[in-house]
Amino acid sequence: MADIANTRDLIRAYATEQFIPEFVTNQYTRSPLLQRMTGQKGSDRELRPVGDGLTGKTKGTLVGGGSMSRAKRMAVTGGESVSWGVQKGTSVSVKNLTSRDTAATLANPTTNSQDQQKKMTTVRLTHKQVECLVWNSTAQANQGEYKIMSAIDDALGIAMQEIFDSLITELYVGSPTDQESEYWSEQIGIDNVCKTSGILYGIDRTGTFFDGKRVTSAKAKALALIDDANITQGIQDKGEGVDLCLVNKTAYLTIKAEALTKGGTVIHKSMPEAVEYGMKQECILYGNVLVTYDPGLLDYSAISTFDSDLSNAVFMTKIGDWCFQTCNDKNFSVGEFIDLSKFSVGGHDARRALIDLQYRFWVFHPKNSIMYTAVTA
């Protein structure tokens, strides 16, 4: 399969174009992976007030900017895609010279020079939108001196939950239908990142230079998986090794018990480390690796035959490689509530608003991410 048309290599990899090397995050987290990606204090999955879009309240409870190196605030305006360079090979031309020797030469310079070893990725935006509708009869019954809650705030909380649930599913098994389109139908999930074939961010992974890692053989749920990832599977050969391990609930209880006998630390939301690592739920710190369970590890094949069963999977990564980026004017933004009965004959006697999210997420180094698909023993 050939690289898609909008990737850039050879001369085009150095042409004058505007690239975005870092990312903006303005994200209300609801999953352990997103919590660590944004590097901010995490949240559980309860509904939150998000502003009603009518009274001038803040339209959203989102905070941004984390402690990670790439979590810098940055306005994404007019950037249709984000790109970075990837080295696709080597150009061997090193020579140790002796007396009265000839200079070093490069084999096949027309096809193998160093300036031809760079390819550019591309990650385009995805746009999510959800309609929030509140019937006027409900809103009117919820007014006056004795009202005890806001029907609009409740409805917005439920609608916002729908966006986050969709985003979490996409984070795991997202697969855009066309990476050449102006907008991607969805972003590429970690299940597809941890593969060695197909197109990833516009680059054909026929070679090995942009592969993730995947282990399908049966493994035991134990701390030894960390050494397997870093040493046996070689993540530490060319990097610092993994620092985040996501498991299911059963595996977490087993690994937690083992870690506590080997010097691991339990982190609770009241501890300073919880803020440092961006986690609210309990997790285990073993060495420099954060271990926690993620309810997003599900059997997605029960939802779509094209997706994987991740219910017995373990995912590990170097979290600093991951970025989540939203656009300033569409970061879970709640639009104005419109009374539909005023704009259409026979229209719904209800108020309607749209919540918009325009975003992208990606990983710079797929080689530092690994998916174990059969951790059951």
Q: For residue 213, give the H/E element and its range.
A: strand 213-215
> Are 198 and 4 contacting, i.e. CB atoms less than 8 angstroms apart?
no
Strand-strand pairing, 81-82 and 123-124: antiparallel
Q: Dihedrals φ, ψ of 139, to 5°?
A: -65, -40
CA distance 169 to 160: 15
Q: What is the pLDDT of residue 25?
A: 34
Closest CA to 63 of 37, 25, 108: 25
Distances from the Cα of 324 to the Cα of 4, 241, 310, angstroms: 23, 21, 22
Q: Where are the alpha helices (DSSP H) in the chain?
A: 32-38, 109-112, 136-141, 151-173, 190-193, 224-227, 249-261, 272-277
Other Cβ atoms within 10 Å of 306 Cβ, number: 9
pLDDT, residue 42, reads: 33
DSSP state of 56: S
Query: Taking a C-beta distance cutoff of 8 angstroms, is the pair 129, 354 a contact?
Result: yes
How many Å apart are CA 13 and CA 15, to the nearest integer?
A: 6
What pLDDT does residue 37 have? 64
Q: What is the pTM of this model?
A: 0.78
**What whole-number distance in Å separates Cα of residue 281 and Cα of residue 321?**
22
According to the model, what pLDDT value does residue 150 have? 73
**Domain ranges within the chain, ordered by starting residue:** 8-84+121-372
Both tokens assigned to 342: 């005023």
Q: Across the 377 residues of the chain, what is the mean pLDDT of every consecutive 10-residue run? A: 66 53 36 61 35 36 31 45 79 88 86 80 91 84 62 82 86 92 92 92 86 94 96 90 93 95 83 58 88 90 84 92 81 87 86 90 90 92
Strands 289-293 and 244-247: parallel
Is domain 8-84+121-372 given the CATH code 3.90.1690 in the classification? yes
In this structure, which amino acid lies at residue 352? R
- State the residue for tokens 């984070």: 171
